[in-house]
Structure 1
């Protein structure tokens, strides 16, 4: 049959050569109209005056199509039902892929009022084939199918649409196509479901899995098994998406000792290589001084004369004992003390844990014996790390032999000793000792003293150190103040002493070269009383007391005047007032501390976050998957506290130290904040194998998704209240001198009481996962749609750039989660902003709120309001709900993403249909035509209500009626 005068074989040829569906993921086909190449046996209703089957022979094969074109016969209700399609038990959702042609209604004279350009897709489930029994009421509508391109004239335009049908639970189902007055040809139908193919990832084997699973969850967890010679502490898992793709590997298999990963298998280590533990590392070359290993070795043995300590890893080279110390010398003091020093060994044996020990022998004539405890070493005779030691309590006229031995960690395994020996002789064992002291002359303010020393072994050029002090009274027992004199002779004249006062004296003999003996016992001597000295003393006391009293009185008067001045601030005038502050102003403000300034990041975590024992944390359900691991909903039950719900971020096995530091870095930031609108950190688990970050649980998830799911359910007053909470949290962060840099609705969490809290303080992680929303610069990546122009151009992130981002968040909230700048590219967004374009007011947005947005988007950052001003304004709006009743002006051109009436080449659009097609919204052509809007001049005159009345829904309306933007879902629309 010809399709309205057009040769069937022609459009079949066009279709076959133009429609090709790529199968990047594995699919299982349940029905394929083109592959059947035979009579399909589909049931039309009505049987004789509805859908018709056409067939042609192309390249020796029969091809079948179905068509209907009753546009000139008034109202139509033509159905075409497929045969029974058996469902695989695991396939709860199937994809229906249609290839079809729709003729332009304008090509039919006089039928434009009843002609349609769409048709409906339905389905019905059944546990058995019902044959020719057909009841329309058993079918449920899947979707209205509209073409992207309409065929006009002889040039055919083939459309391809794919819809999802499900969830399915019975053994099979039927599909049905309902025509309500269109001229259409159904060229192909393919029904299939997607499968995540069998795969090997991270040394784990995962079986083929039907996408979506039995419950049609978005992510289906699939357990895997390690390949041969690989093990895993945690069961490896992958998530199968509804699109048949594997995502988010959790757990990791690692090759056993003696094996390394080669591709997706574990291979034995080659000769001369080894691997000692379960890990992802490759086999290592046997270290220095080891024997060559065999195939599959877990270690490499040491060569003869080389050793390892039990603490040395198998990756360490084998080492040997050190060579003897070098250049052993002694320095003898005249008082019988000895200093030994030496140089390190020329060969440390390949180790850096060399220590030294000293042994001593004393010889008198030809008889030698160990020194034992008769010689005192400082700091000690063994375990020395320094290359020097002191020896004391030596006796005169003896020969001493000192042996210094060098040892390292493997010396215990070798019989070889590394020693150096030196012998020295002593003349003095101790300095002379003061035996007595007496007074040669006594006065009221002076004493002349002399003393004697022992006659044994007195050297020349001896000096003395004399110390003296007053003898304390009972009230002065804690006072000890000495005067010290160094003298060349054994006598002294001391002046300037107090009359009639007892003094204590002690003397120490010192020998040239630094030797010093012990102090003598204390000797007590007193001065004589001074005659007629009492009156003068009383006069001095009286004069001193009077002067002191006057000074004290002056200080008291000054203090009282200062206090009176501070208590009466009204007496201050002029610029002097700026130098006085209230106690609140003087209170120090807590300031954010960047954890990256800590040399050890673990120190920052311990300083700002509380450590939680893992036994107090219970994981209940996976609620997401982050870069570092899974995110769970769970419970925290600390001793003495009631159980509270929490969110638990985990660190997947096999992490690097840098990943662990990045993971805990966010906790180091969050732990510094305490505010009702900032996500609260409960604590961290760092001292155990599995690191975790535990935060309060926010039942309603990310703000952007919550707004989209509850579109049209909240009033402007409620939305402004949510903005007030976000602004309060940002004011707190600004006051702490913290710049967020990634403020967006996706990073705001909402709890069960609709309290909004700022979260996500790990900018680099978010940006790495969000290629669509970022723009690469020489300094890294930034989220273009939410970032101030100066931050994009010059990377100047300040509180003012956070204010710009807050303005974008305001727009997202008032637009109920709509994507800022819609589907404009990042380059187009930056260009538009630099040309002074700003986002238009969302539909039904209060004028006062939109004016605040525009102030946040001022090009000059110094003119933007601060968060303190924003909080005050939002409080004012909430106190005066009438201020939210005036709606901002509405520009339909901007709101449906067309800033001008001409195309990209500057030429004006010839019709409304051409304009709508350019912005991928041709499905609304009929709405404009039925309303009589046929010229661009009429579009420019439309108001808010006009757009809504013709059936076009923009931000602010229920989601099922909202203007839908084409293109795949973007990753930055979700947390």
Structure 2
């Protein structure tokens, strides 16, 4: 930065002067070198304005010796950039005719935290001194000119940066110049106080190009919503000028508008308001409201008028409607139809609704039903059913709108009296259980005695699990009924009522009955050999499971510990699955704090969940954006119906759902470190191998849990694994997941519609034939292992999806990541076996990782660096699940000599159960020998 000679433009900018020799009245007493030959001479002279100043002069054109002149110590204060203004004159060398004459000099500086310089320290050389510039004169004095001629001085402005010490020295270095230092001024620039865009900034010293000066909003101005934690800031330029506009601008607060300029906010006058902060102006109060207070953010309603909670501040005030008119009733036995006319005054609103009430009945039971509804009616007609015969009723119809709830007065209403006729059946008595099983109840009751000519047409029975309170209804014409599809070892509440030509009677009193616990129907099975017992038991379970899967409820539990996933899409009403598996949470318990991402259906937010009686905790909130279709709502909530069935420390936990208000939300536990792939990329190389294996073990444990529930994930990848603050990994994102159905011993899911498939993570058979199993999840788990050990590297790098498919078909497999233990890469290759039957199950993967964790030495051999141990310990006899038959298993453990002895009890067992034909015995024994036991659920082995 260099200014023209004589230029003073920089003086217009506010500056803080640290040294100015022009103002000195006594000797400067600067240090010269060499001390024994001082050439720099301090003299008194006159400046351009004929003022007396102290100057330094030197004229050594006949000497090549370096002569130094050093100032006193100059504290730099808060500045990081200083400016040095030098005013000097210089003699022309051509008139001096000296060989060593020069028309330049050098400026140096030396930084220090204290005034520590001496005549010999620091050394008089370029290092430790730092050179600032070589200064040349723009105007030279000539010895041939008249002494009375113009003597123009030179002015140079030099910048010193960056400065870090507490102060510095300036040093002038002459080597043959004939010159005079008229004045030296050292200063730094400051940005002046500023008010702009409703923000105020103090006088500021510039520090760097990126450091912003902090300001405050002017009086009655605030930062816009969402920026409360960001005060206004602005860049103070190096030249002492403010640059650009403030960031995180301030705006006039509610009740205030901008003045003539953008530096002050003025209050809205009486009778006007401004609801929000921002650039808008004040507006007149809406109809039926007013304010006498300046600076109002809203206008209170006049007496008798109100705003609903959902009304914006600029909405006009309204009042409740008048009463409905002219109620007309039509009686049909025990049914009444009510119709009425609209109120004369709707209260100034368009959200008019009606509510029907019934009185003068003692007692009023729950058999009274309104069609279409009792509350929130928009049409002026309602049918009331289930009334008692020969009973006088008073029906009241109320008019309501959005402000009825906030009004202190009762809703306006009209009434009508009616009397019903004809007799309905009396309550049913003697409801009892005739029989029970694990999943059914057989119920009987005594038909009621009618006192008129009517007969019982049919019965309606309703039942609900104990404490559930959600009734299911069935009808029958007989006085008995079998309820099927019930839960095992559960208690049910049951009521029944009769219907005649006069209508339904009242429900009977609540009765409670229990289903049998699991296994009670099998206690009579003969004590056969384990192999035959297993064969028969499996057939019974297969038939039972097939029957249960046809049941509407879809419930299935094996024994007392095995739980099987239920596909929410099998429900006729998807909302029923949501109610069964997901807890409904009151929207007032949730506070959304910030948006942290975007999902397929809407935004993903972080918030706080505070349920009364429980500790407040952070939650992740998935929202369903507005304008959704019913299918989008069903698909969105299906993930909650899936997650709600899982309870495992390595599966993301569902807190609940909000479906009764907008927006619809799914709440899960909050995972502080986010997705595993991005977390690993941000922390590349920061974890030990044991830590990485621990993460993999957690993922495998979660997948084992899902596999045991007959559940296929279909989209297992590091991006769908979430990590909390304790580095616990949890499986999430069940958007592609589906139920794994039982088809013999080959449970699969077939996608009939195709759809997007994550090629790089998907097994070959799933890509080619849309066949998804736990084995295809095992393939995906191998890819996740590779992602973890490579710290989030993209599988197959920049290969296209088609190139990946072709490479896999040609038996290409991913190489080990850098520093990956050989044992882990061997486990990856096991997961990538082409034949899915050869891939390890997740229980095998968990066991293998546990062995590696217990033996850390096995993780030290890197892949490609030597032999690695097998996945499974070969010293342990192979499990029965790895053999095709009992004979094969006996041969594998070198016990084939017992083959005939082991099978001999089977012949006796077949005789005991009545199988006497040799051909039938041979066929059954053949089936038992080829039984693939590893496809049988574990609980069936006991």
TM-score range, shorter chain: 0.3 to 0.5
TM-score normalized by the length of structure 2: 0.38
**What is the TM-score of this pair, normalised by structure 1?**
0.37
